[in-house]
Amino acid sequence: MRVPAFVALMGYRILTILSYQIVSIAVGWQIYQLTHDPLKLGLIGLAEVVPYFCVAPFAGYLVDHLPRRKLGMAACLGLAATALILAAVSMRHAGASQLALMYGAVALTGTVRSFLGPVYNALFGRVLVREQYTRGASIGSIVFQSGLVIGPALGGALVGVGSVVLAYSAAAALAVGAALSIVSLRVTEPAIQLQREPIFTSIGQGIAFVFSHQVLLGALALDMFAVLLGGAISLAPAFIHDVLGRGPEALGILRGAPALGAVAVGFWLARRPLDRHAGRILLFAVAGFGVCMIGFGLSTSFWLSTAILLLSGMFDGVSVVLRSTILQLATPDDMRGRVSSINGIFIGSSNELGAFWSGAMARLMGLATSVVVGGFLTLAVVGTTALRAPRLRKLVLADLR
């Protein structure tokens, strides 16, 4: 935290997360109030993940070949623009056409968001030395998860006390703040080499690197399937409304509980970085996450559900720190953008696909049953990964330095 560029990068990180989370809360609440259909909540994730998935490989290429700070600033301004579009659409009250426009704005958010992670990860590797990566990843996780705590709570409060328009306007202001933060960051960037190789060849090199690295691929796949199958949090508006009988303020608390648990773990790991038995700890953490999803699906008490999600966030926090550290240590600097974009496809898209999966399964099985089944499937993924990726199971982080 004594490195000014690292502090500026953390400012960029938390402000973009706050902006995105406020929009996520407002959109989820607004669409469920309009439709009372959990599948429509799942369609929010699908509307975001399709453009994200299509743009992410090219975003990673551009991050590796163009000025990273300028790309980050443009992405932040795009995030602000989508929030303002949602605010304008919300004042129309135009029925089905309003829903279509909202999904269109969400799709634009997915396009913009495909740049945010690669820019962050690429600059992370420039502002710290390798010996600081483990602690830096822990602090980055604290900042990230703090945004996931504050963002939903703030979004729920803005919707409950004011309106969705107020929430979207606040999100736009935060995104502009993120743009200013990354502009203030001072770091030496690699020389621009746009014509070094054809774009698809370059993207293919990043994909080949990830799929040839058993530890990195195993960590990404483990997290992806856990989030995909255990994405119960996307159904929080339905649980709040239909099972727990609370309002938008309670939705913010419920959505923020996992991140609060992850923040607590992040502080612990920042002081006591993991090294030995890192692979085993990662597997146990994801398994603990799956067990928590089963408990959440069975709970009918708001505070019990909140406590279970808090615990799930602690397990997820361990997973996030270890995956981030593995990503930084295993990736060469000139491939950080492309590898980060692949990481985003694995992890970022799995959040939205998980939301669609959860919404579809809730329509078929009911809310509680779909979440419980997802938790058991997560446990199955952990067992499969442990068997198929022995290098990950035996991983010691010192081996990657």
Q: Angle CA(74)–CA(228)–CA(316) in degrees, nearest 5?
A: 80
- Mean per-residue pLDDT, 341-369: 72
| Residue whose pair of structure tokens reads 């990481």 in the numeric block | 343
Is pLDDT at 180 greater than 80 in this prediction? Answer: yes
Which domains does the chain carry? Answer: 4-184 (1.20.1250.20), 202-399 (1.20.1250.20)
Phi, psi of 277 (to 5 degrees): 55, 30
Q: Angle CA(353)–CA(289)–CA(358) in degrees, nearest 5?
A: 30
Choose the weakest-confidence range: 116-130, 186-200, 361-375. Answer: 186-200
Is pLDDT at 260 greater than 60 in this prediction? Answer: yes
CA distance 124 to 139: 12
Q: In the chain, helix, strand, coil percent, each to 5?
A: 85, 0, 15
The string of DSSP letters for 332-395 reads -GGGHHHHHHHHHHHHHHHHHHHHHHHHHHHHHH-HHHHHHHHHHHHHHHHHHHHHH-HHHHT-
Token pair recorded at residue 23: 């929009």
Integer CA distances (angstroms), 32 to 39, 159, 299, 395, in order: 9, 13, 21, 43
Cβ–Cβ under 8 Å, residues 74 and 66: no
Using 50, 70 and 90 to split pLDDT, how confident is the model at 68?
confident
Task: Specify the amino acid at residue 195.
Answer: Q
Closest CA to 85 of 69, 68, 64, 103: 103
**SS3 label, residue 38:** helix
Using 50, 70 and 90 to split pLDDT, how confident is the model at 194?
very low
Q: Could you say which DSSP state residue 91 is in?
A: T
- Spatial neighbors of 179 by CB under 8 A, at least 6 apart, are 72, 73, 76, 77, 80
pLDDT tens digit sequence for 92-145: 765 667 888 888 888 998 899 888 888 888 888 777 777 777 778 778 878 887
CA distance 324 to 393: 17
Cβ–Cβ under 8 Å, residues 328 and 272: no
| Strongest mean pLDDT among 1-10, 56-65, 81-90 | 81-90
**Alpha helices (runs of H) in 128-190, residue ranges in sequence order:** 133-157, 164-183
Cβ–Cβ under 8 Å, residues 83 and 168: yes
Is pLDDT at 15 greater than 90 in this prediction? Answer: yes
The pTM score is 0.68
CA distance 14 to 150: 10
Cβ–Cβ under 8 Å, residues 222 and 385: yes
Task: Specify the amino acid at residue 279.
Answer: G
